[in-house]
Chain A
């Protein structure tokens, strides 16, 4: 009798798992607020992956995956928590792709995801603080921590033979976190930080800020700001007064705008931003163009990868439940196994069903390390003849 019960139970379990379901994945991004210009492409990226899987009909016996959007606002933790609460309790999402900004991501993780046992994969939260957050192994991110960027900055500056740096950062969580990561790594490596001072965005005049930076001195000025905001203003004032002639540009500063604003004045300066030469990036851009959005938009590839990882982990766990899939995310994301690129999700699902191990590479060359965050691939750039060019990948 006992045997029979167990057999029926396991049969039911198998049948249940094999039966087609309607899986929902929450997409929580700042559709309003400071990131509203890049979140549409991020959302589209995630939904592109869901459509690909649904169309393939190969996930958990032909289950469909639909997206339920929520607005994180990027800055308002209470609003983001309420949106996530609604997705989890009312819409009953199986997992969450999000959130975007570090602050709201931490709030959703602590207030909604952990209490309800829902897995989260963020495409863009880079704060080092999230690496050590209490997450019950439910939280992952396809974006690298800024702590990683601190190491990149250290490595590049060391190779250039720099001995002392001055840091200016935009006065928010991103700028402050990044500046601290750079300073810590640099000082551990024996470098000297002469000053680390904040600047406010959106001002016309940065001569006072540059005066303080110049007084402190340093071989290189590290500008942890935004290219279309105060970062460029500080660089302008530093160049005009002759305070600094060599700059290091982290991710927020590298953009076409730099070439336009400064051109040849920056010759000899350098920097790095997330990017990869993996074939996945190009493939994703093609797919995005076909789907009608910009695949080069910031964090759109990471969003596709975050959603893809959730679904591949479901297949590997043979369950759409957060508690099960969360244990498989690292397995599908990392080697060993057969490499899976964007547009090959169906192949990945087949391989998993066939019992073969996979290594999801995706659009952003995903490799999860430590507490489940992207190892981070960076594109090192250098200014020559008035514009920047990629010199190598790290």
Chain B
């Protein structure tokens, strides 16, 4: 019984939250890593693309809700998601046309493009606040729980409750579907293959007749789509606040770099590694230890490695260790 309690506590406070958070980070890191692999610069505007896209999704959600449109037990935001993605893709393609294309034609150095993306970031930053505001917005509706903590306790008779929010389930499920679709696209379709070819060797790809503008446009579309999905899932699971997406940029980049910039598989692994370390290092293991260990060994203190204030420090520590010992990331990316 104690052993079961320990497992439930671990699931409730570590495994489930970290998996959902990891899925959100992985989706964000995939977008960053695609841009890096194909356009060859770190897109600092990615966090704010997430915020802006989620803002559009929220506007559509409100509109649908005002028309009385609901999605049963699922959040209305899921219906709004494709519309939000389309608007964001149009916006991002417009940005590419207005800003990035100029520098691409100049064959500008990656570091210049990074600075340009920071400029885009600040503009998107302002635009998001202008469109949707700085307030915290909760836009989840439908059923809140797949497994409710109180009901779980009553049903199993365990001392520990297990909560599994529907937004967490949705996040994990969507992430799996999206990642599978992305890999199918990259490995099986003509456009996907040409993107990988462009990423591996630009000159060769151009020689073999690949249209660079098309590859660039498709890359932006996929990365914008990923950004909106990641942003909406994060907003559904937690809450929407423009500033939080800006802060999310750090763990997202840490995930992408740890996994190996430019490597999609690495981005996913990096996302989960960062999420599990952040939660695992700052979790107080006292409860789990008390259940599992014999009474004499049970810890007096909280058995917490780091206070939760240092969550971000964990991602940076991992980042530094990886960069020191394996500069190209765990999955051999393209970082230089």
The distance from the CB of B332 to the nearest CB of chain A, in whole angstroms, is 31
Does A211 make an interface contact (CB < 8 A)?
yes
Does B201 make an interface contact (CB < 8 A)?
no
CA distance A314 to B302 in the complex (A): 56
Does A240 make an interface contact (CB < 8 A)?
yes
Contacts of A207 in B (CB 8 A): 13, 17, 279
B304 CB contact (under 8 Å) in A200, A202, A212: A212
CA distance A197 to B301 in the complex (A): 13
CA distance A233 to B239 in the complex (A): 9
CA distance A115 to B247 in the complex (A): 45
The distance from the CB of A354 to the nearest CB of chain B, in whole angstroms, is 55
Does B48 make an interface contact (CB < 8 A)?
no
**Nearest chain B residue, comparing its CB with the CB of A217:** B287
Residue total for B at the interface (Cβ-Cβ under 8 A): 40
**Nearest chain A residue, comparing its CB with the CB of B162:** A242
A216 CB contact (under 8 Å) in B152, B302, B309: B302
Contacts A204-B241, A205-B21, A242-B149 given; does A212 touch B161 at CB 8 Å: no
Does B326 make an interface contact (CB < 8 A)?
no
**Nearest chain A residue, comparing its CB with the CB of B244:** A204
What would be 22 A-B contacts, judged by CB atoms less than 8 Å apart?
A198-B307, A198-B309, A203-B244, A205-B238, A212-B282, A212-B308, A215-B13, A215-B283, A215-B286, A215-B288, A215-B302, A215-B304, A216-B284, A216-B286, A240-B144, A240-B145, A240-B163, A241-B12, A241-B13, A242-B149, A242-B161, A242-B162
Contacts of B220 in A (CB 8 A): none
B308 near A197 (CB under 8 angstroms)?
A: yes
Does B285 make an interface contact (CB < 8 A)?
yes
Does A78 make an interface contact (CB < 8 A)?
no
Does A209 make an interface contact (CB < 8 A)?
yes
Interface residues of A in 133-155 (CB under 8 A from B): none
B279 near A195 (CB under 8 angstroms)?
A: no
Interface residues of B in 60-114 (CB under 8 A from A): none
Does B214 make an interface contact (CB < 8 A)?
no
Does A38 make an interface contact (CB < 8 A)?
no
CA distance A208 to B283 in the complex (A): 6
Residues of A within 8 A of B (CB): 171, 195, 197-200, 202-205, 207-212, 214-217, 233, 240-243, 245
CA distance A101 to B244 in the complex (A): 27
Contacts A198-B309, A199-B308, A204-B241 given; does A211 touch B14 at CB 8 Å: yes
Contacts of B288 in A (CB 8 A): 215
CA distance A161 to B123 in the complex (A): 55
Interface residues of B in 105-153 (CB under 8 A from A): 144-145, 148-150, 152-153
CA distance A195 to B309 in the complex (A): 15
CA distance A243 to B150 in the complex (A): 10
* Additional 9 contacts, C-beta under 8 A, given A197-B308, A202-B244, A203-B247: A207-B17, A209-B308, A210-B13, A211-B282, A215-B283, A215-B304, A216-B302, A217-B287, A241-B149
The distance from the CB of A310 to the nearest CB of chain B, in whole angstroms, is 39
B13 near A214 (CB under 8 angstroms)?
A: yes
The distance from the CB of A204 to the nearest CB of chain B, in whole angstroms, is 4
A211 near B309 (CB under 8 angstroms)?
A: no
The distance from the CB of A236 to the nearest CB of chain B, in whole angstroms, is 8
A208 near B302 (CB under 8 angstroms)?
A: no
CA distance A198 to B311 in the complex (A): 13
A200 near B309 (CB under 8 angstroms)?
A: yes
**Nearest chain A residue, comparing its CB with the CB of B135:** A228
Going nearest first, the 3 A-B pairs with the smallest beta carbon separation are: A242-B149, A242-B161, A215-B284
CA distance A367 to B255 in the complex (A): 58
CA distance A242 to B163 in the complex (A): 7
Contacts A214-B13, A216-B302, A240-B163 given; does A208 touch B311 at CB 8 Å: yes
A-B contact count (CB 8 A): 88
Contacts of B285 in A (CB 8 A): 215
CA distance A243 to B144 in the complex (A): 17
Contacts of A243 in B (CB 8 A): 13
Interface residues of B in 290-311 (CB under 8 A from A): 302-304, 307-309, 311
Does B40 make an interface contact (CB < 8 A)?
no
B284 CB contact (under 8 Å) in A212, A233, A241: A212
Interface residues of B in 1-59 (CB under 8 A from A): 9, 12-14, 17, 21
B302 CB contact (under 8 Å) in A212, A242, A245: A212
B239 CB contact (under 8 Å) in A198, A199, A204, A209: A204
CA distance A199 to B153 in the complex (A): 28
A211 near B244 (CB under 8 angstroms)?
A: no
CA distance A233 to B238 in the complex (A): 9
Contacts of A205 in B (CB 8 A): 17, 21, 238
Contacts of A245 in B (CB 8 A): 150
**Nearest chain B residue, comparing its CB with the CB of A209:** B308
Does B234 make an interface contact (CB < 8 A)?
yes
Contacts of A216 in B (CB 8 A): 284, 286-287, 302
**Nearest chain A residue, comparing its CB with the CB of B311:** A208
Contacts of A203 in B (CB 8 A): 244, 247
CA distance A208 to B279 in the complex (A): 6
**Nearest chain A residue, comparing its CB with the CB of B286:** A215
Identify the interface centre among A198, A200, A215: most chain B CB within 10 Å of its CB: A215
**Nearest chain A residue, comparing its CB with the CB of B281:** A208
Interface residues of B in 252-293 (CB under 8 A from A): 278-279, 282-288
Identify the interface centre among A197, A209, A214, A233: most chain B CB within 10 Å of its CB: A214
Contacts of B153 in A (CB 8 A): 242
A208 near B278 (CB under 8 angstroms)?
A: yes
